[in-house]
């Protein structure tokens, strides 16, 4: 399967996860800063990842480049999402950026795949939770980094 992973990252945690995901599925990993419309469109599975900032906003590079996503033709395209967050420090906005990206891609007609269970996390609110599940893979690189490998592997086994 032809997979493209597009991510935004400042501290490097999300970039590291994007790299891990793309290696496991022999895909390409592209920073949102350098991504093109073709990067969004020319794949069978598009995976988008972002850390969540403070009270629940998208990472800066995503905010500055969101028009690239909005310009892409995603009608019917399979899209999976992952988000990095810190459930202990930001329990009221855990992986909210993933929820923001979900709203963006569904508005463009994408078919979101890869919903995951919320059990095993300790947070109070998340816009990435819909109908009792996360809209993608939620990762806490601060408090649960030891779970990342297992969660990524299990998630990809469902996607691929």
Dihedral sign for Cα 3, 44, 101, 69, please.
Answer: positive
Domain range enclosing 113: 3-159
Q: What CATH number should be reported for the domain holding residue 53?
A: 3.40.50.360
User: Beta strands of 40-84 (E only): which ranges?
Assistant: 45-53, 57-58, 78-84
Cβ 31 vs Cβ 53: under 8 Å: no
User: How many structural domains are present in the chain?
Assistant: 1
Q: What CA–CA distances, in Å, run from 113 to 19, 45, 57, 80?
A: 20, 9, 22, 5
Residue 137: which H helix or E strand, with range? strand 137-139
Per-residue pLDDT of the chain (160 residues; tens, 9 = 90+): 999 999 999 999 999 999 999 999 999 999 999 999 999 999 999 999 999 988 899 999 999 999 999 999 999 999 999 999 999 999 999 999 999 999 999 999 999 999 999 999 999 999 999 999 999 999 999 999 999 999 999 999 999 9
pLDDT number for residue 27: 97
């Amino acid at each position: 399967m032809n997979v493209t992973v597009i991510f935004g990252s400042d501290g490097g945690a999300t970039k590291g996860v994007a790299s891990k995901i793309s290696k496991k599925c022999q895909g390409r990993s592209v920073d949102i800063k350098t991504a093109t419309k073709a990067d969004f469109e020319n794949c069978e599975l598009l995976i988008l990842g972002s850390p969540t900032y403070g009270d629940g906003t998208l990472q800066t590079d995503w905010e500055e480049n969101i028009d690239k996503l909005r310009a892409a033709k995603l009608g019917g395209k399979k899209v999976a999402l992952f988000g990095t967050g810190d459930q202990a420090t930001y329990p009221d906005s855990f992986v909210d950026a993933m929820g923001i990206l979900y709203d963006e891609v569904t508005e463009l007609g994408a078919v979101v795949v890869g919903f995951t269970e919320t059990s095993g996390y300790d947070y109070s609110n998340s816009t990435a939770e819909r109908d009792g599940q996360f809209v993608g893979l939620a990762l806490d690189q601060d408090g649960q980094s030891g779970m990342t490998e297992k969660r990524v592997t299990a998630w990809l086994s469902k996607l691929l």
